[in-house]
Homo-oligomer: A and B are copies of this chain.
Amino acid sequence: MPFPLFPASAQAVDAATVQLNLDFVWIVVAAILVLFMQAGFTLVETGLTRSKNAVNIIMKNVMDCAAGALVFFAVGFGLMFGTSSGWFGTDGFFLSGIEGQDQMWTYAFWLFQAVFAATAATIVSGAVAERTKFTGYLLFSIVITGLIYPVFGAWAWGGLFNGSGWLEGLGFIDFAGSTVVHSVGGWAALAGVLVIGPRAGKYGPDGKPRHLAGHSLPLAALGVFILWMGWFGFNAGSTTAGSSEIALIAMNTFLSASAGAVVAMAVTWLRSGKPDAGMTLNGVLGGLVGITAGCANLTPGFAILTGAIAGALVVYASLGLERFVDDPVGAIAVHGVCGAWGTLAAGLFDAGGFSLATVGVQALGVVAAFLWVFPLAYGLFTLIDRIVGLRVEAHPEVLGLDLHEHAAQAYPEFVAGGDGYGVPDDEFIPAEV
């Protein structure tokens, strides 16, 4: 770009236009932060699983974002925000034809929403890690981004012109998506792990779960810090306007995450005698998920309380769920359970005053999300399993998805079988593992 002359002299703008420009800057900056959360999810999922499946997780997350963006451009955005009678939108596909909206504003809002949709998809990725076929996962990712997420979104956030989404119309509070994004992802993840089943070796002969450690806690921790940063865009960006309100939202986001981390650490410390790092990191995420619904309508004290309870929930829900389902990264506890809790908390602690009706609507939203997402995702995973197959065979699973699905290794120099000089050929792959 050419060096522009000092622009002040050339400008004859009014304050409303400048405010609008500020809104564009803020929404784009926030969208960039949310996009970067994909890197955070990738690292958390990669770090908390074994190195033999790292390439596969990277591919899944890149595609959640890349294929997701194209699908949400073509279909999802219209279903979610097009003209609606309360259930789903019927125009706006390919970003065309939403009447009454400025084109640039639609573009900015699409960008912000597209990265949200990718987030819902990527939550599932971690839960089904280490045993799912790439093709099957990709199909699911496309459907959640293009259909499952947008339709629920239309209930809670859509319906621009003809009234509003039916949940929205009841007064449902979910400012940035504890339910719309996180519980939707979490319940889809629950369906996925039920259909796919646990990883080989997860449960001992006695049926008790064993801890299959991830391969890099530093990568996982970096991922959590990236998510922590990105969540400010997620929550404060949901104002879609550069306004003073973002201060309250950002502060609440910070405090809730902090309380989640401290409480999750304390709970593990009291339970086992040592502060557990993985749970503490998931405590940060639980606190973030928990405050997402109520970040704009809770006082700081209740933000801390919401995060603290989320931090405890993460630990107990992870341990409880582990007895029944194998979720390598704790996605169901973090996103599903804490998302539901955060949605209730947004009603319980509403700074506008307690109202049983409000809490009831919040509970209704939580239930509606489960009832819409879980059966549909369960059916879809089952269908994919029947048609293209969802789970890799036993041998490739033990060998690692990276070699089988992508003919690659994440760290050829560092792990057994790697020679540091390229993709192993067939001789490297042991016939029996």
Contacts and interface: CB of A to CB of B under 8 A. Distances in A.
B284 A238 contact: no
A219 B304 CA distance: 32
A360 interface: no
Number of chain A interface residues as a range: 35 or more
Nearest to A11: B16
A69 B287 CA distance: 13
Contacts of A13: 15-16, 19
Contacts of A226: 36, 39
A370 interface: no
Interface stretch (A156-164, A183-191, A380-388): A156-164
A433 interface: no
A36 B277 contact: no
A415 B415 contact: no
B3 A157 contact: yes
A412 interface: yes
Contacts of A109: 3-4
Contact of A39 (B7, B225, B251): B225
A55 B210 contact: no
A406 B280 CA distance: 11
B218 A54 contact: yes
A85 interface: no
A343 interface: no
A298 interface: no
Contacts of A373: none
Contact of A222 (B39, B111, B114): B39
Contact of A14 (B7, B15, B159, B423): B15
